Amino acid sequence: MAPGNEMLECGSGSAKVSAHFRRQGYKCTMLDYSEAGLNAGRARFAAAGLAGRFVVGDVNALGFQASRFDIVYSGGMLEFFSDIRKPIVEMVRVLRPGGVFAATMVPRKWSIQTLADLEIAVIRSGKRLLTGRIGEAWQMVRSVPNHYGVNSAKLREYVRACEDAGLVSVHGLGISPFPSLALPASGQIAYVRALKRWRPAWNRFDRSQSRWTEWVGSGYRVYGVKAR
């Protein structure tokens, strides 16, 4: 892949990843079925003075000709589909042979984030307990982890769906060893600073092929190349 290549991000929302690629010189198309999501991306691009194309559309029926893009990416989207095959087939259709597909997901499973969610729920429920809202507090802790409609697809199912859609050299990895936390402002700043220091360890974790990273990590990543 090289600057000047065409990238499509599906379910782009705030388009953070596309903005990164645009800065490297890629031509970016952002697709989302939510106008509000696209507006968040437009705002990010406008604030950074970046050019990009924003398209309203459904990833299950993309209005692009086959083999149109060099890179197709989606982040935080596939986990919301009960049938992951359909959107993957469609994204691979618009990818050129030799092009790269990548997706990240936040799956429904135990992970390091589950502990963090518990921490967040305990803090929030504590506030309710102090004001006598015991039922609400209990409900809050009980609902951890709350997966908000996320499917239960396993990493190997994503890998299989990618292979069946026509990708080769498909890899599936567990990623994101450090959870999102709800800390007081000073703690949050210190945590973000620490995360920056721990970035090399984080990168090593994300690139590891071992089974335990799939188990502990709070995300999945799959990537592969479209067969020529």
Ligand X SMILES: C[S@@+](CC[C@H](N)C(=O)[O-])C[C@H]1O[C@@H](n2cnc3c(N)ncnc32)[C@H](O)[C@@H]1O
Question: Looking at 56-64, 119-127, 141-149, 166-174, which segment touches ligand X (CB under 6 A)?
Answer: 56-64
- 10 Å Cβ neighbour count for 166? 17
Find the shortest distance in angstroms from Cβ 219 to ligand X.
10
Does residue 76 belong to the site contacting ligand X (CB under 6 A)? yes
Identify whether the C-beta of residue 27 lies closer than 8 Å to the C-beta of residue 6.
yes
How far is Cα 212 from Cα 205, in angstroms, rounded to an integer?
10
Site string for ligand X, 83-122 (x = CB under 6 A): ----------------------------------------
Does residue 180 belong to the site contacting ligand X (CB under 6 A)? no
Question: Beta-strand (E) ranges in the chain?
Answer: 6-10, 27-32, 53-56, 69-75, 95-105, 167-175, 219-226
Find the shortest distance in angstroms from Cβ 37 to ligand X.
3
How far is Cα 33 from Cα 31, in angstroms, rounded to an integer?
7
Does residue 13 belong to the site contacting ligand X (CB under 6 A)? yes
Among positions 35-54, residues that touch ligand X (CB under 6 A) are: 37
How far is Cα 29 from Cα 68, in angstroms, rounded to an integer?
11
Q: Which of 34, 139, 143, 203 binds ligand X (CB under 6 A)?
A: 34
Q: Which of 8, 28, 59, 100 binds ligand X (CB under 6 A)?
A: 59
Does residue 145 belong to the site contacting ligand X (CB under 6 A)? no
| Structure token digits, residue 198 | 């721990």
**What's the angle, vertex CA 26, arms to CA 23 and CA 27, rounded to 5?**
115
Q: Which residues contribute to the site for ligand X (CB under 6 A)?
A: 10-14, 16, 32-34, 37, 58-60, 75-77, 80
